[in-house]
A and B are shown apart, each in its own frame.
Chain A
Amino acid sequence: MTKRIISKFLRYIVIIAFLAWILIPVLWMFTLAFKSYPEWRVAYFFPKEPTIMNFILVFEPKQIIGMMGATALVDPVTLPFINSLLVVGASTVLAVIIGFFTAYGASRYNSPGPFSLFFTLLTRMLPPATFVTPIMVYYANLKLLDSHLGLIMLYSAVTVTYGIWILKGFIDQVPVEWEQAALLEGATHIQVVFKVTLPIVKSGLVVSGLFIFLLNWAELLFALVLTNVQAVTLPVHISKYVGAVGQLYGPQAALGILSSLIPVVIGYLIQKHLVTAFTFGMVR
């Protein structure tokens, strides 16, 4: 009996310690974002007079000049935020659509060839730094540098593999008999894909889409190399913000919160599917 109590006690200690380890660093950023300028450097968590000044500074950076040794004027977060929504949204839709078609072929007929499938997996597993250089040269020749289109195409190409493997799992579970029945009724193959299979795997489209959105929303390196002014995304903006105004802890924290809002909501929605998603469907 005592042994049981000890093991129960031990479990709670381990879990509480882990939760504290997870929560404390985030809590620091969270409270820092609501601290006023004199409190940025003090060692307590909760601000005495909470303010939303930091969030305003992120959108209207002109007021930053002269504070805390900030020299460079940083752009407002508005454009990067819109760019991120646009680029990530469009590339997600593209990756899911292409992923669905490919997954259907792979699930039902073992097409397409192993090379394409291996290649999509490979580019996902390789460090982006190892193939961003030639993409930059190639995009420079095509005049796609600093364009939304270039980034959208690249983002969908490196995440389409998740669309394929997540959706393949969903399509595998649709009974082939239903499709055959529709074919016997006189439906064409195209009709079967769009009218029978597609509606059934709708939730799969949502799951893979949200997961791809999450990954592309976080992507830094490609955007850092391939954008400059026009198409700068949120992660690039954050990295520049840290470099240019190293001591402006409050606005930095506010920026961190702004860019985590969407991922946290998405993460909550797809919790149950995260294992499948992260492992390319190798683990269910």
Chain B
Amino acid sequence: MRSKPPKVIVYLANIPLNILLYATLIIPFALMIYLAFLSWNPAAGVDWWQAPFAGLNNFSRALQDSRFLAALGRTTAFVIIVVSIEFVLGLVLAYFMIEEFKGKKISLSLIIYPLMLPWVVVALIFYLFFQDYGPMNNIFLKIILGDAAQNIHWFLSSTTAFISLVIADIWQWTPFIFLIMYSGLSAVSKRLIEAAQVLGASTRTIFWKIQLPLIRPLVLIAVVLRALEAFKVFDIAYVMTGGGPGTSTETLSLYIYRVAIEYHDISYAAALSLIVLVILAIIIRTFIWYSFERGVRT
């Protein structure tokens, strides 16, 4: 039915969506571009349309802002670390879960439920877990380190604070990669694998030469979606470490939030946002083009 659409359907499909998008998102996006070239701080008592132009000052300031660059680098490192660990864990787990065994159904339900929990609750769970009196130090690390475990204060040193964020993220999102890999691996035809077995291929060869190549498009989708999601990291940093100690676990989202909300430096926050946004929009556009328009589907 790819004929000319009836008018009523065109209205129905376009008008509600566009009203919603323009009213809540497109106007603010336009406003952001304008704000980024101003020098405006609402604490000064003028409205944004009265604020003086700043030209490219906000942008040149961003390029010299060590806290911004550090947050950008830290967030990128966070993304690379968590996505690689989650990918390996998720794939291994999917590989082991693929065959039938007793208790498979309940294991599946349990494995994926961290995905449903609100991010704030995950942050809370690990905030409680890593407290000085919490089980991490007093039960689990005590077995390995003995009483020395008492001296670890997870949120007081920048390395351990960062590790705690990484652990929380891996805990919640490994199931995401697992889920996609699992659905991909279950779709690989059993006959293909049986045929390879008859021909004498080892389990390892089957995995590397048949299963993995067949789910390659899914690997790309899983990794890119996860990386984009991980790049947003805000909730766990805000709740667990508050970006601390100092600013040593401040993520990009947290820094922009602080510039805007705590320092009221709206026009600078808009400029920072714009820089990040342009970089990400190009990546996302390429990805959407690749996966939707070239039709990578399984």
Contacts and interface: CB of A to CB of B under 8 A. Distances in A.
B288 interface: yes
A229 to B, nearest CB: 16
A153 to B, nearest CB: 5
Contacts of B26: 119
A157 B247 CA distance: 32
Contacts of A123: 25
Interface stretch (B53-61, B128-136, B193-201): B128-136
A189 B284 CA distance: 35
B128 A217 contact: no
A274 B92 CA distance: 20
B257 interface: yes
Interface in B1-48: 1-6, 8-10, 12-14, 16-18, 20-21, 23-29, 31-32, 35, 48
B151 interface: no
B160 interface: no
Contacts of A263: 116-118
Interface string B251-270: 01110110011000010011
Nearest to B7: A189
Given A14-B92, A193-B12, A275-B183, A133 B17 contact: no
Contact of A137 (B48, B125, B254): B48
B110 A22 contact: yes
How big is chain A's contact interface, by range? 35 or more
How big is chain B's contact interface, by range? 35 or more
Nearest to B289: A118
Given A112-B17, A126-B277, A127-B232, A220 B120 contact: yes
Interface stretch (B62-70, B80-88, B206-214, B234-242): B234-242
Contacts of A249: 128, 131
B27 A111 contact: no
Between B114, B117, B179, B285, the greatest number of chain A beta carbons within 10 A of the residue's beta carbon is seen for B117
B109 interface: yes
Contacts of B50: none
A131 B110 contact: no
B24 A22 contact: no
A23 interface: yes
Interface string A5-25: 001001110110011011111
B24 A153 contact: yes
A193 B239 contact: no
B162 interface: no
B136 to A, nearest CB: 9
Given A19-B111, A22-B171, A134 B135 contact: no
A153 B176 CA distance: 28
Given A11-B96, A18-B111, A19-B110, A127 B231 contact: yes
A72 interface: no
Interface in A30-47: 32, 40-45
A224 to B, nearest CB: 8
B148 interface: no
A181 interface: no
Interface string A244-270: 000001001101100110011011100
A128 interface: yes
B31 A104 contact: no
Given A154-B24, A217-B118, A266-B116, A25 B171 contact: yes
Given A138-B27, A157-B25, A129 B128 contact: no
B238 A239 contact: yes
A82 interface: no
B239 A239 contact: yes
A97 to B, nearest CB: 7
Contacts of B120: 218, 220, 235, 238-239, 259
A189 B6 contact: yes
Contacts of B257: 129, 132, 221, 224-225
Nearest to A10: B96
B1 A133 contact: no
Given A129-B273, A193-B9, A268-B109, A137 B124 contact: no
B166 interface: no
15 contacts: A15-B96, A25-B129, A43-B133, A43-B135, A102-B13, A108-B5, A111-B14, A112-B14, A189-B6, A220-B118, A220-B235, A224-B257, A235-B120, A268-B109, A284-B298
Interface of B: 1-6, 8-10, 12-14, 16-18, 20-21, 23-29, 31-32, 35, 48, 89, 92-93, 96-97, 99, 101, 107-121, 124-129, 131, 133-135, 138-139, 142, 171, 175-176, 179-180, 183-184, 203, 218, 221-222, 225, 228, 231-232, 234-235, 238-239, 242, 252-254, 256-257, 260-261, 266, 269-270, 273, 276-277, 280-281, 284-285, 288, 291-292, 296-298
Closest 10 CB pairs of A and B: A105-B13, A267-B116, A43-B138, A109-B5, A218-B118, A129-B253, A134-B32, A41-B133, A134-B28, A127-B232
